[in-house]
Structure 1
Amino acid sequence: MTFIEGGVCAPAGFTANGVLCGIKKGRTKNDLALIESEVPCSAAAVFTKNLVKAEPVKLTKKHIANGAAQAIVANSGNANACTGEQGYANAERTAELAASLLGLNTEDVLVCSTGVIGQQINIGAIESGMEALCEGLSKSGNAAAREAIMTTDTKHKETAVEFELGGKKARIGTMAKGSGMIHINMGTMLGFITTDAAITPKMLDAALRESADQTYNCVSVDGDTSTNDTLCALANGLAGNPLIASKNADYRAFVSALNAVNTRMARMIAADGEGATHLLECVVNGAKSAEAARNLAKAVISSSLVKAAFFGKDANWGRILCAMGYSGEHFSQEGTSVFFDSGAGEIEVFHNGVPLDFDEPKAKEILGETEVKIRIELKDGKENGTAWGCDLTYDYVKINGDYRT
């Protein structure tokens, strides 16, 4: 498996574009993105678990129900959430416009939005920009598209891999946006995956859910689950591999590649958390099950007190034990050890249920690095799990204090 350039355009048959159409007043970056496959695709998606769902989420759930799609339109600047019948009609109009210009059925176009909640979207701006968006599709359009989905993100997020599948070279590409309103129940606001692998809709759906549970659903920035969270995958089969129709060896190879790109994206999202100064990775080893390990790790990186401690470079391991204790998972405290690890070294602060008299200045130096790992060793089993988060800073409040106004 090799990481390559190109993002969502890396797989065969996919093109993309992004334009600025003026959805949000004052924005100077692209705000409308499009991804298209030259042939119909198997399609799958996972959505926010928030009961309040944006209108594009409702539309996309309907359009993808048959396991097929060929294009995705995504906008930033307005979430089109809590906007009622008019909001749904605007999402539908967006799909209709793209379908008409691309020569597709409206049902084969998925729609995603991100931005401020509770305001009707400027559908006139989308109408004015759609023709240029469709006409400008290209193999290098991933750069314009990845910019168009950013909101408070400080960096674009994309990656791609090439791997062997059934004796053929296959590729998976992806781009995502996410910086705030990120929590465990779908770790990103918008994510798009393209692949030229041949795989049935049922198996694509299974692979996407399996991978999301181990990657995107293990990210927390601020404890908020968005109304718009959507992770879509399109597979057009142009790699020419034997069709994956069961959970065979090729399916496992596909999931492995999918996990590789999704893990990289999960780390990018956590590192770019609103106001963040540290990427936190929590690894739990020796748990009774992989699920238990992930749940323990997620509880730790979701704790506001743990996040605040890392912002202050304070090796307050007690907050870690506290978070593990309310995770809902049973573990042996007497068999628990905690380590902090970064480019500045490693230090153990808690050993087999007993606090250690550790070097506080050295711990502060370790916690001062941009990326810090919390390693928790248990003696309850042989399974492990990982979760990603960031510190909680003053700037998080500044960014979100006047987000709407």
Structure 2
Amino acid sequence: MTEAISPLAPKTLPDMPPVPGVTLATRKAGIKYADRTDLLTMLFEPGTTVAGVFTRSRCPSAPVETCRDHLPGGRARMLVVNAGNANAFTGKKGRATTAVTVKAAAAAAGCGESEIFLSSTGVIGEPLDPAHFERHLLDMAATARPDGWVDAARAIMTTDTFAKMVTRTVSIGGVDVVVNGISKGAGMIAPDMATMLAYVATDAPLSAGVLQQLLDRYVGTTFNAITVDSDTSTSDTLLAFATGAAAGRGAPAIADPEDPRLAAFAEAFADCLRELAVMVVRDGEGARKLVRVTVTGAESDASAKRIAMSVANSPLVKTAVAGEDANWGRVVMAVGKAGEPADRDRLAIWFGDILVASEGERAEGYSEAQASEYMKADEIDIRADIGLGDGCFTAWTCDLTKEYVAINGDYRS
């Protein structure tokens, strides 16, 4: 965890209300760093449903494998998250640690082992001592409280510079329910089916199937639409939990993802995912500028996404943004290398509201001075219209600075 806060960080933290049916606890477990909070538990009341999406890395962490094994049960009683050690590429030792942790957590929560979910983030390849969990989980379960969201968000940070939190209140069947979310991530960010670590909890009475449908529906345009450095983590995990506590206040149980009573909740849920995802980009390692890349006019939405991510992942585009250089030729390059249908003479590119290129050449009346002035902003919009169809997609990225190299050059130090 670095000291300087990203200049793109939100100016204020949200006031995180309790989620009925959820309690939280944190500890300084000494997993990697001395005297910092690095262990989190979330406890859920019986009957809580769960859904999740995970990294597609072929080298997943042991906790990811545990979550995948437990997810079909659709129920959760405890989430255990540690920072400082990813428990990835740790072989039999890693699997032994997750087994011990699951057993200790199940005993602490008084539940079955399949209702335990784990995440670990940090250095890859270092064995993780299960004693860190064995000595803390029982007391954490006994002292968990409903108002610990800020501490929870901070406990899962690694190179993050600020805690990432979001909350919404929305009505289901005339009854207000809460949606809270936290996430972490700043580097090794190019999610594939999920993101770094992110957790969303609500007291809405939703089935596991509905939760999973919501995640599957919105992850593609939120967490899977961001990139910092094009690298997908071994540990990417996004979990959603629904305690159902609002049913006691008259909220209807929702078991059909097409239920019209779910519409407002779905919108709020998607908004939470999007805000958490963009906060990760705002905290990109060394980032000074947030960049939104919008592609329109592609042959399909899938084609638009591949083009947008080609631009968003381009080191040359990202370093030009860092240098406040209006080098639109690099955007042309990134569109062309994406391997998707494109026509040089139909392509148009904007920086903000400034048309910089169209019909195969620099735009008539283009002002380098105007474009350069725009590039000084903290938030940059790049738009490319392909001119071939109706496909569109928006991706978020950040600039690539010397600080990114410095942070990752001594990450294990």
Distance in 1 separating the partners of 2:143 and 2:303: 47
Aligned residues: 396
Tell me, yes or no, if the aligned pair for 1:192 and 1:232 is still in contact at 8 Å: yes
Aligned to 1:331: 342
Aligned to 1:14: 22
Give CA-to-partner distance per residue, 1:199-255, whole Å, 9 cap, x none: 222221121011111110011111111111111111122222232324232344333
> CA 1:70 to 1:313, structure 2 compared with 1: closer, same or farther past 3 Å?
same
Distance in 1 separating the partners of 2:306 and 2:20: 37
DSSP-derived class of the 2:96 partner:
helix
Question: Which structure 1 residue ranges, 5 or more long, are not aligned?
Answer: none
Is structure 2 residue 270 aligned with structure 1 residue 262? Answer: no
**TM superposition shift of 1:95:** 2.0
DSSP-derived class of the 2:49 partner:
strand
Aligned to 1:23: 31
**Pairs within 5 Å for 1:51-200:** 51-186=58-193, 188-200=195-207
**TM superposition shift of 1:384:** 2.8
Distance in 2 separating the partners of 1:205 and 1:119: 32
**TM superposition shift of 1:131:** 3.3
Tell me, yes or no, if the aligned pair for 1:11 and 1:171 is still in contact at 8 Å: yes
Aligned AA (2:267): S
Aligned to 1:400: 408
DSSP-derived class of the 1:111 partner:
strand
Give CA-to-partner distance per residue, 1:36-95, whole Å, 9 cap, x none: 222322211111111001111111111112222122110001000111122111112122
Question: Which structure 2 residue ranges, 5 or more long, are not aligned?
Answer: 1-12
Aligned to 1:214: 221
Distance in 2 separating the partners of 1:321 and 1:242: 50
Tell me, yes or no, if the aligned pair for 1:220 and 1:270 is still in contact at 8 Å: yes
Aligned AA (2:102): A
Give CA-to-partner distance per residue, 1:298-327, whole Å, 9 cap, x none: 221111111111111111112212222232
CA-based RMSD = 1.9
Aligned to 2:298: 287
Specify which of 330, 350, 354 is matched with residue 319 of structure 1. 330
Distance in 2 separating the partners of 1:273 and 1:252: 32
Aligned to 1:349: 356
Q: TM-score, normalised by structure 1?
A: 0.92
Aligned AA (1:294): K
Distance in 2 separating the partners of 1:248 and 1:336: 41
Distance in 1 separating the partners of 2:121 and 2:141: 20
Specify which of 384, 404, 407 is matched with residue 376 of structure 1. 384
DSSP-derived class of the 1:335 partner:
coil
Distance in 1 separating the partners of 2:120 and 2:233: 11
Give CA-to-partner distance per residue, 1:133-178, whole Å, 9 cap, x none: 2233112111111111000000111101111223322222110100
Distance in 1 separating the partners of 2:200 and 2:339: 32
Is structure 2 residue 372 aligned with structure 1 residue 361? Answer: no
Distance in 2 separating the partners of 1:169 and 1:244: 18
